[in-house]
Chains A and B, each alone.
Chain A
């Protein structure tokens, strides 16, 4: 077990989150460096995710490290029935750091128990994806200049969307107000509402994506409403367009409002929003590179300057 592993955003303190954000800022102004020279990073994608893998691999490459690994478990021995433990132990012989994505929930936590090499969780099923959370936090921090006292509106699939759950957990240090906008079937689960109540986080629930909600927001975090989440297909047809955003809806929004989305989007954000200065989802994805550079250096115990 390596204490510098990052499995869940709740593994790290408020101070560590803030330090990582300042380090991400540093990497944004110095993205290319040789600080990982001689290091080998394994990217083990038992479940394919091109977007996340490319972001991690670019982060390593731009810092001068080397990457080994696989992008699809069907090409590895785990498809022949090798246990996760054995795969992790084998790779631990070669790599200084393991970045892994797995379709099973808790896989990364278990991996930390079978090796001394640090593990970064790049997504374990519907469970945790801390580097996504860090890039979301970085995007909020960058666009608002702070994480404190913001009104954040979460829209769409709040039931299954792990990114919104982790964001909720991470934001609790920063006195946020949340608006949860979702249809009945995809509302924020009771355990997260309880989390808010226990931690004294203010939240309001809406089924309407109304101008009042939009105009009070500093951040609107959009997510995709997926057909397969519905038991009743009629219900899906009824709500599928209720949580879409177009440019006109932003007319009276706050000047500092930014629209985020973990991507890929389908039609929940209209193309006409892309040209708005309030659209931030493409830069958000780019921020992932800097956030991941900071996370990788933390896992390897490499000291990085911070930038406000």
Chain B
């Protein structure tokens, strides 16, 4: 990566960088992570060049370290996303997001006759086929692939 591209988004002393988010879902990822509500420095870049994705988005959040299961939520829409944990300008940890075995909230069930679409309650999906990324509604049994899941 050239230093010119590096400058596209500001460097981070401490915090979390979420890289390799497909451009089309960047703002959805922002929403899923609740980044709008943070009062820390947030830098968002989009439509950056990416060999792998064509274009990508990146989110840098200063002085914030999300629990891994929170970051894993974006695996639903951005399975390519990569997490970098920065401390004192150094990457101290990096990992790929992974679909959690249980997803509470976030996903809306596509079945109009599902109880979750008719009661004020939280949804729950279980990962039933990690290879094909299939998740299933805990209540009605309706299943869907993660990339087709309807995000609330």
Question: A: which residues have CB within 8 A of B?
Answer: 83-85, 102-107, 109-110, 124-127, 191
Contact = CB atoms under 8 A, between A and B. Distances in A.
Given A105-B141, A127-B141, A110 B113 contact: no
Given A83-B120, A104-B113, A106-B141, 15 more contacts: A83-B119, A105-B114, A105-B115, A105-B140, A106-B114, A106-B116, A107-B115, A110-B115, A110-B119, A110-B121, A124-B115, A125-B113, A126-B113, A127-B140, A191-B143
Nearest to B111: A105
Interface string B114-141: 1110111100000000000000011111
A106 B142 CA distance: 10
Contacts of B119: 83-85, 110
A106 B117 CA distance: 10
Contacts of B115: 84, 102, 104-107, 109-110, 124
B120 to A, nearest CB: 7
Nearest to B116: A106
Interface in B8-46: none
Most buried by A among B114, B116, B137, B142: B114
B26 to A, nearest CB: 33
Nearest to B138: A109
A103 B142 CA distance: 15
Nearest to A126: B113
A132 B147 CA distance: 36
A195 to B, nearest CB: 11
Contacts of A83: 119-120
Interface in B36-72: none
Nearest to B136: A191
A102 B118 CA distance: 12
Nearest to B109: A106
Most buried by B among A105, A109, A126: A105
A125 B137 CA distance: 15
A104 to B, nearest CB: 5
Given A84-B119, A191-B143, A103 B138 contact: no
18 contacts: A84-B119, A85-B119, A102-B115, A104-B118, A105-B111, A105-B113, A105-B115, A105-B140, A106-B114, A106-B115, A106-B138, A106-B141, A107-B115, A110-B116, A110-B121, A110-B139, A124-B115, A126-B113
Contacts of A124: 115
Nearest to A194: B129
A124 B137 CA distance: 14
A129 B141 CA distance: 13
Nearest to A114: B121
A107 to B, nearest CB: 5
Nearest to A85: B119
Contacts of A104: 113-115, 118
A84 B121 CA distance: 11
A152 B116 CA distance: 35
